[in-house]
Amino acid sequence: MQFSTAQAPKTTWQRLSAQPHRLFFGSAVIWGVVMMALSMISFMGVAGIDFLSIHGYGMIYGLFINAFLGFLSTVIPRFSQSIEIPKKLYHFFWLLYQVGLIVWFIGFSLAGQLLSGAALMIAGFVYYQTIRVGRYPDEPDSLWLVGLVFISGLLPVLNLFLSFSLSWAGIWVSVLPITFTVAQRMIPFFYAGYFRNTYSKPAWVVPFFVLGSWGIALGGDSSVLTSMLGFILSSGIAYFLWTLDIYKKAPAILWILALGFLWLPVGLFVTGLESLSGLYALKMGIHILLLGFVFTLLVGFGTRVLLGHSGQMVTADRITVYLFGAVQMAILLRIIASLFFIGDIGAYVDMLHLGFSLFVIVMLIWGIRYRKAIF
């Protein structure tokens, strides 16, 4: 994969706005730190902070979708071998998306959600137009991603007429399907490139996961449908991973992604188990998925993009490996917190505080480590 290595502009804004991943990654780091810090503060008894809104909607749309908009704005033209997205277009939907988050944050929740939703639909339209003029306008992964981004923007509009949890829907309709569609495309591709071999990706895997994930979104956090689909998806994805030739000795920049992929069937299985047993209050499965699968891959994918597009060698240094280890520690702390929730509320809160703190530290160190590639 070839990256642009043009000479970086001089001013901070010119550097930040020169490429879409810089704008969205920088925004994701800021929102991620702020939302997680506020989540921790709310658990300390500070009044006036809606934990469920900050920790749910704020993390999903502030951190995860922000980051993936940056990634998709960069790779979708490459998937379809098309032109790069013009600056005026990605500047527009980036600005509209951030304004929506700010409006939501200051208390105008509905207006903010609709503005961010509009930005996502505009981004989806821009991606589709980009694909249409490329060499491969029918490339399936690109089309799935375009549809997922557009539907992500529709969710806040649908929420006006239908009563559902926007955070729950955002996870299962948007975050997990987008992450998986990118992962199943890019991770085997990276391994094949490094080991100079080929791979054949099954056509069923993306629709299988996306439709199953949407089914869980409809089933809610505690239903027979969610339990059944959790187990089915876990088994199917475990089989898919078993068929991939990626679990072997490789550079850190590769095995970070491969190990992150392994958290997906684990989180799906635990989600099914929680739904079946009525223990969703533990919220272990959803945190395994978001921290173990999504956040680990964000560290890996984000690092690759920033290094490649800044003309540096695409490799994980010691700091990045330590950050990956810290993410895995945060996952384990959240699992332990869920187990403590059953019988020791004090220990549960302590584990959450440790996990919150570790997450903020990871985000800050990653942002500082790659600040020159962003800002």
Least confident of 4-18, 23-37, 47-61: 4-18
Mean pLDDT of 11-22: 81
Q: How far apart are CA 224 and CA 272, in angstroms?
A: 9
pLDDT of residue 3: 47
184, 205 contact by CB (below 8 A)? yes
Would you kindly state where each structural domain of the chain is located, as residue ranges?
A: 12-374
Task: Judge: domain 12-374, CATH 1.20.210.10.
Answer: yes
Residue for token pair 């730190």 = 33
Q: How far apart are CA 289 and CA 265, in angstroms?
A: 9
Instruction: State the DSSP string of 19-65.
Output: SHHHHHHHHHHHHHHHHHHHHHHHHTT-TT--HHIIIIIIIIIIIIH
Q: What 3-state class would DSSP assign to 311?
A: coil
213, 173 contact by CB (below 8 A)? yes
27, 94 contact by CB (below 8 A)? yes
With cut-offs at 50, 70 and 90, classify the pLDDT of residue 1: very low
300, 347 contact by CB (below 8 A)? no
With cut-offs at 50, 70 and 90, classify the pLDDT of residue 118: very high
Determine the length of the chain.
375
Q: What is the pLDDT of residues 62-96, one digit of tens each?
A: 999 999 999 999 989 988 888 899 999 999 999 99
Residue for token pair 């902070």 = 49
290, 175 contact by CB (below 8 A)? yes
Q: What is the pLDDT of residues 265-297, one digit of tens each?
A: 999 999 999 888 776 656 889 999 999 999 999
214, 172 contact by CB (below 8 A)? yes
Supply the pTM of this predicted model.
0.91
